[in-house]
Amino acid sequence: MTENTEKLPPKERMKIPRQSMPEQEPNVRNSNFQEVPLGLTEEQALLEANRCIECKKAPCIPGCPVEVDIPGFIRLVMDKEYAAAARKIKETNALPAVCGRVCPQEEQCEMVCTLSKKFKPVAVGYLERFVADYERENDLVQLPEIAPPTGKKVAIVGSGPAGLTVAGDLVKLGHKITVFEALHKPGGVLVYGIPEFRLPKHIVQAECDVLAEMGVEFQNSTVVGKMDTIDELFEMGYDSVFIGTGAGLPNFMGVPGENLIGIYSANEYLTRSNLMRAYDFPNNDTPIIEGKNIAVLGGGNTAMDAVRTGLRLGADNAYIVYRRSEAEMPARAEEIHHAMDEGVQFHLLTTPIKFNGNGDGKVTSMECMQMELGEPDDSGRRRPVPIEGSNFIMEVDLVVVAIGNSSNPLIPQTTPGLDTNRWGNITVDEETMETSRKGVFAGGDIVTGGATVILAAGAGKKAARAMHAFMMNEVASQV
Amino acid sequence: MKFDSVEQILTFAIGKEQEAADFYTDLAGKMEGKQMREAFLEFAAEELGHKKKLEAVVEGKVLLSSEERVVDLKIGESLTEVDAKPDMGFQEALMVAIQNETNAYTLYKNLAVATDDSGLKDLFLGLAQEEAKHKLRFEVEYDDFVHQEN
Amino acid sequence: MPKVIDNTQIGPQVWKMRIEVPRLVAKAKAGQFVILRVNENGERVPMSIAGLDKENGLLTVIYQVVGKTSALMTTVPDSGEISDCVGPLGIPSHVDNWGTAVLVGGGIGIAPIYPIAQAYKEAGNKVHTIIGARSKDILFYEEEHSAVADEMHVCTDDGSVGHHGFVTDILKNLLDGEEKVGMIMAIGPVIMMKVVANLTRDYEVPTWVSLNPLMIDGTGMCGGCRVSVGDKTKFACVDGPDFDGHLVDFDQLTSRLGAYREQEQAAMKRFLENPGCKLAEAVEKFAYPS
């Protein structure tokens, strides 16, 4: 690698292989909760950054749901200006340390990377993580400039990625921000849903600490809808409200036996382990059932998180039981591979129809059926159909239902005039994210149903822009 | 119940569609939430649509086929029975609808078995297929939203 | 971090904690509950509301020492702090004028029955309150309840005070008597609520019970508190905690409450073995029942 990187022609850059992320060995990491990917070394980061051929069109930018200036930040990495690179990302994405870890880059920026046509794409995610970690670990986080106070107050309900993004964008513009969080720690799904081995909690806390330093007030253990309603927030003097309460209602199968001991929703299982640190019981008081033969129902990231957690808690056999085929699993390919390498066993085209228990009310097995994909329906999708007579018994002592989440109904139920669709998702204007209630905006999973961190962040950006315009126009018209 | 003619069967089936429409309209009236009310009114309207189709069959404008293969996701078979209650959510509303359509489908299948007349048998099977389509429509929605990640 | 005004032992196993949470108290109603966390490593535990001092913003909870967390709660000093107190959670108890209402409080249930009795009285009901405990030692709140109820009835399993027998004995007498009972509200150990519901089902008197399943978040997010009511699964934290006693599957609730028995026993044992723990001796008396 030459020192003067501008001189390296694209052909030479394309010869640099895509850097591999160093990781804990599968048989070591499947019994600890430390982070699995260890992060690129500086040397690797520089090599990787130099792979970017800085193409004119930069398809990676529109490939990103929030249009981070990817070539821009990579250029700064090439120049060894890592903290500046992190700041460049933060111009559009407030959570690079999180997104660098959990974004499905392979479906976004990296999928459309020019290099991906003939070679492997630039590892945008690894680089994003590298610079964010570098900035934080070397105490180089600079607070952005805050505009003079506008006198406007904003209430943000929910401190997940959508709410945190709105908070970050609006506090910079001089508004007074209060984030109301129902749980005792901020971060939402980042802290209760995603395990330590994929997203260390100190990173989430660090992001919230930065926001607090910028002047954002966090009121944890405060449930809007029970303590104060949205209407009461307006009465308290807030000028606009953002609802980012997430997909916090677990979907259950609806088959017999689902209330046996040992059958958890993924939300409960992961909240016990991640937020309440039950993986470190009894140093932490919240217990969790440590099953020996565990079945996780579902094929999304949540299911992968749950099954890998179960393995780490000492399961001899950890199964993924998924109704459809591998091609249809919504989880990130990377996480599916991590799970396979760690020893998770996959039972595809399989679904339980009944749970059986013993005299103590504990689950002991589930009756399953094999499925096959039927004819495509009107939507063109082939759906799973049970195969007659394929019933079989799977011995299990722990089941985690990770089939999907719906929107938590508390806010819609306590906010008259707030329209939702029949699935409980709040309906919003696509551009402004405003709901059917004036001055009330919403984004993230509560609007879309379960989706990604980056999409929630993107929704937060749109909402923040619209909320600022909404609040300031009011002032303008008074003048 | 004994059926001797095509007319008799179709009259019965048309009555059943009206019954189903009334069932859903009735449920709509009992729902606490606006969304559930609207959902059930929609289901009721769909049943009236089916009724219209059968009336068109009577008028000879439409033919029912018993040949068409309709996918059966069999989602209803493993679900616990749901009683319609005013505070039910959409997942339960779909379970109620799936149960309802499954009952109708089974009814026509049984009637087909019970008759020796091949013409009437065909008609019953055609009606069963119609119910199978209605059932599939609800099962697909259930599959999409309850099993989002399954 | 919420301030604990005082934390007083009011019986051999029963403690009373008053927490300063003015905004919560202003919004809370009888029948609701809160979730407490004592410290950073602590569990989130649900506690029924036993008293609301709206003037001073003080919440009263009454708890029994049955495990590590409740034992830990006793160590919080007057003018101390706990990590979190979140609420008010759950749906408030339904209050109406039914003419004559009977409230039944068994064991620790004597506490949450109190604000509900107050609400029933304010709504114009003639209030019969039945409180029962294993023995006189464990009974508490007699004065408070007397002040509210039109008629107070006390019973103990061992006959040390009041009627020698169970709350259902007294309840049956009332139901067999001249007064028409319009509503019954029962809170106490699961077996007590089950027995009350079985009794009143024959008399066809509407009966509410307040359920106490294990909980984590308390906002309907996890389903850990799910209970079977009729043929439906409900979340006690958002659909309850009050439910129609004639439809509740009490056996399933009892079973699910035992989900962590082994871990709870291990945690309590570890807590008692902790050399620095000044509470160990006192708590040892209330060793977790096996």
Q: Please, are residues A53 and A8 in contact by the beta-carbon 8 Å criterion?
A: no
The pLDDT of residue A343 is above 70 = yes
For an interface test with B, which of C226, C229, C232, C239 has the most B Cβ atoms less than 10 Å from its Cβ?
A: C232
Same domain, A332 and A461: no
Contacts of A235 in chain C (CB under 8 A): none
**DSSP letter (8 states) at residue A56:** S
Chains that touch C (3 or more CB pairs under 8 A): A, B
Q: Could you tell me which residue, B86 or C91, shows the higher pLDDT? A: C91
Each residue of B61-79: pLDDT tens digit?
888 777 778 888 988 888 8
C residues 259..278 contacting A (CB < 8 A): 259-260, 263-264, 266-267, 270
- Quick check: is A414 in a domain? yes
Residues of B near C (Cβ–Cβ under 8 Å) read: 80-83, 85, 87
Contact call for residues A441 and A242 (beta carbons, < 8 A): yes
Are A88 and A15 contained in the same domain? yes
Q: Which of A377, A390, A426 to mutate to test the interface with B (most CBs of B within 10 A)?
A: A377
For C151, half-sphere exposure in the C-beta direction (CA atoms, 13 angstrom radius) is: 10
Please indicate, yes or no, whether residues A60 and A179 belong to a single structural domain of this protein: no
Looking at residue C85, what is its pLDDT? 97
- Coil, helix or strand for A241? strand
pLDDT, tens only, A17-45: 999 999 999 999 999 999 999 999 999 99
Secondary structure letter of residue A345 according to DSSP: E
Predicted confidence at residue C93, as pLDDT, reads 97
Per-residue pLDDT averaged across C83-98, rounded?
Answer: 96
| Nearest-angstrom CA–CA distance, A241 and A248 | 19
Across C220-237, average pLDDT: 93
Please report the pLDDT score of residue A376 as a whole number. Answer: 85
User: Within this chain, do residues A239 and A290 fall inside the same structural domain, yes or no?
Assistant: no
* pLDDT for position B71: 86
d(CA B112, CA B119): 10
Q: Name every chain A residue with its beta carbon within 8 A of the beta carbon of C221.
A: 182, 248-250, 267, 271, 408
Angle at A445 between CA A458 and CA B87, to 5 degrees: 155
pLDDT at res. C282: 47
Question: Does any CB of chain A come closer than 8 Å to the CB of residue B39?
Answer: yes
Chain A residue nearest residue C22, CA to CA: A227
d(CA C58, CA A35): 43
The candidate with the shortest Cα–Cα distance to B23, out of B47, B1, B7, B4, is: B47
Residue A2 included in any domain: no
Interface test with C, best of A157, A184, A264, A273 (most C CBs within 10 A): A184
| Count of residues making up chain C | 290
DSSP per-residue letters across C77-106 = PTTEE-SEEEEEESPPPP----SEEEEEEE
In a domain, A181, yes or no: yes
Query: Does the pLDDT value for residue A335 go beyond 90?
Result: yes
In the predicted structure, residue A258 carries a pLDDT above the cut 50? yes
Residue A294: the pLDDT is 98
Beta strands at A398-401 and A293-297: parallel, antiparallel or unpaired: parallel
pLDDT band at C283 (very low <50, low <70, confident <90, very high): low
Confidence of residue C284 (pLDDT cuts 50, 70, 90): low
How many percent of chain A have pLDDT more than 90?
A: 88
| For residues C190-217, average pLDDT | 96
More confident of the two residues C285 and C21: C21
User: Of C74, C78, C86, which is closest to residue C14 (Cα–Cα)?
Assistant: C74
Judging contacts by C-beta atoms under 8 Å, the chain B residues touching residue C239 are 87
Residues A401 and A418 in one domain: no
Helices A82-90 and A70-78: angle between axes, nearest 10 degrees = 170
Q: Is the CA virtual torsion A363, A369, A371, A374 positive or negative?
A: negative
Task: Write down the mean pLDDT value for chain A.
Answer: 94
Q: What is the mean pLDDT of residues A361-369?
A: 97
pLDDT at C104 over 80: yes
H helices within A322-452, ranges in order? 333-342, 410-414, 445-448
Q: Which residue of B has its CA nearest to A376?
A: B71
Please check whether residue C48 is in contact with residue C187, taking contact to mean a CB–CB distance below 8 angstroms: yes
Q: Is B60 helix (H, G, I), strand (E, B) or coil?
A: coil
Mean per-residue pLDDT, C186-206: 97
How many Å apart are CA C265 and CA A282, to the nearest integer?
11
Residues A244 and A282 in one domain: no
User: What 3-state class would DSSP assign to C4?
Assistant: strand
| Other beta carbons less than 10 A from residue A358's beta carbon | 12
Which band of pLDDT confidence, cut at 50, 70 and 90, is reported for residue C240? very high
Number of compact structural domains in chain A = 3
- Is the pLDDT at C288 greater than 80, yes or no? no
**Residue A217: burial class (beta carbons within 10 Å; 0-12, 13-18, 19+):** middle
8 A C-beta contact, residue A259 and residue C228: yes
* Pair A120, A201 in one domain: no
Transcribe A94-108 into DSSP letters: S-HHHHHHHS-GGGT
The number of C-beta contacts closer than 8 angstroms across B and C is 9
Q: Is residue A148 part of a domain?
A: no
Query: A26 and A64 share a domain?
Result: yes
> If you measure CA to CA, which chain C residue comes closest to B85?
C232
Neighbours of chain A (3+ CB pairs under 8 A): B, C
**At residue A474, does pLDDT exceed 70?**
no
C69 touches chain A (CB under 8 A): yes
Looking at residues A275-304, what average pLDDT do you find? 94
User: For chain B, how many residues are written?
Assistant: 150
Q: Taking Cα atoms as reference points, which of C10, C210, C20, C50 lies closest to residue C145? A: C50
SS3 call for C7: strand
Contact yes or no for C27 and A184 at CB 8 A: no
Residues A333 and A260 in one domain: yes
**Euclidean distance between CA atoms A240 and A466, whole angstroms:** 10
Q: How far apart are CA A95 and CA A103, in angstroms?
A: 11
Chains that touch B (3 or more CB pairs under 8 A): A, C
Least confident of A304-308, B64-68, C264-268: B64-68
Sequential DSSP letters for A202-239: HHHHHHHHHHHHTTPEEE-S--TTTSS-HHHHHHTT-S
pLDDT, tens digit (0-9, with 9 covering 90-100), for A200-230: 999 999 999 999 999 999 999 999 999 999 9
- The separation between CA A182 and the C-alpha centre of its own chain, rounded to angstroms, equals 18
* DSSP track, C117-153: HHHHHHTT-EEEEEEEESSGGG---HHHHHHH-SEEE
Band of the pLDDT at A10, cuts 50, 70, 90? confident
Within a domain: residue A286? yes
Please tell me whether residues A184 and A234 are part of one structural domain.
yes
Domain boundary among A79, A113, A137: A137
**Preceding omega of A409 cis (within 30 degrees of 0):** no
> Domain span at residue A76?
10-137
Domain boundary among A137, A170, A201: A137
Is the predicted pLDDT of residue C287 greater than 60, yes or no? no
| pLDDT at residue B82, rounded to an integer | 81
Six token digits for residue A462: 């749109």
| pLDDT, averaged across chain C | 92
Could you give the CA distance from residue B139 to residue B80 in angstroms, rounded to a whole number? Answer: 15
**For chain C, what is the radius of gyration of the CA atoms?**
18
Q: Which residues, including other chains, have CB under 8 Å from residue A66's CB and lie 6 or more apart? A: A92, A93, A454, A457, A458, A461
CATH number, position A268: 3.50.50.60
- CATH 3.30.70.980, domain B6-145, yes or no: no
| pLDDT score for C279 | 55
A324: three-class secondary structure by DSSP: coil
Tokens for C130?
A: 């039945």
Quickly tell me which residue has 């309900």 as its tokens.
Answer: A157
The answer to whether the CB atoms of C232 and B85 lie below 8 A apart is: yes
A3 assigned to some structural domain: no
Closest CA relative to residue A307, chosen from A297, B93, A190: A297
What lies within 8 Å, CB to CB, of A433 at 6+ separation is A441, A442, A443, A447, A459, A462, A463, A466
Count of CB pairs separated by less than 8 Å, A with C: 111
CA distances from B113 to A54, B57, B132, C185 (A): 71, 22, 17, 54
Residue B11, both tokens: 């009259």
Q: Do C270 and A261 touch (CB under 8 A)?
A: no
Domain boundaries, chain B: 6-145
Contact (CB<8Å) C231/B85: no
Please say whether the beta carbons of A203 and A35 come within 8 A. Answer: no
Buried b (16+ CB within 10 A) or exposed e, C31-45: bbbbbbbbbebbbbb
| Chain A positions with Cβ closer than 8 Å to C | 182-184, 220-223, 226-228, 248-250, 252, 258-259, 261-262, 264-265, 267-268, 271-272, 276-277, 281-287, 289, 360-361, 408-410
Cα–Cα–Cα angle for A135, A137, A141, nearest 5°?
40
Same domain, A400 and A287: yes
Separate counts of helices (H) and strands (E) for chain B: 5, 0
The residue written with tokens 């119609």 in the block is B130
pLDDT digits (tens, 9 = 90+) for A56-101: 889 999 999 989 999 999 999 999 999 999 999 999 898 999 999 9
Residue A477: pLDDT over 70: no
Closest approach of C169 to chain A, Cα-based (Å)? 30
- Mean pLDDT across C179-186: 96
Q: Is residue A144 part of a domain?
A: no
pLDDT over threshold 60, residue C289: no
Final residue before a domain boundary, out of A362, A384, A405: A405
Residue A475: the pLDDT is 45
A280, A196 Cβ separation under 8 angstroms = no
How far is Cα C37 from Cα B9, in angstroms, rounded to an integer? 66
Tell me the nearest-neighbour CA distance from C111 into chain A, angstroms.
22
Q: What is the CATH number of the domain that holds A14?
A: 1.10.1060.10
Nearest to B72 among A385, A402, A421 (CB): A385
| Residue contact A182–C217, C-beta within 8 A | yes
**Per-residue pLDDT at A5 exceeds 70:** no
| One-letter amino acid of B16 | K
Task: Compute φ and ψ for C36, nearest 5 degrees.
Answer: -110, 150
Shortest Cα distance from A384 to chain B (angstroms)? 7
What parts of chain B have a pLDDT lower than 50?
A: none
Residues 239-258 of C with CB under 8 A from B: 239
Residue C193, SS3 per DSSP: helix
Token duo for residue A15: 């010869």
Q: Cβ of C221 and A250 within 8 Å?
A: yes
Helix axes A161-172, A453-478, angle to 10 degrees: 40
Contacts of A160 (CB under 8 A, 6+ apart): A187, A188, A189, A190, A244, A246, A444, A445, A456
Flag if A410 and C233 touch (Cβ within 8 Å).
no
Task: Return the pLDDT at C138.
Answer: 86
Q: Are residues A242 and A267 in the same domain?
A: no
Nearest CA among B41, B45, B56, B47 for reference residue B15: B47
Burial of A267 (0-12, 13-18, 19+ CB in 10 A): buried
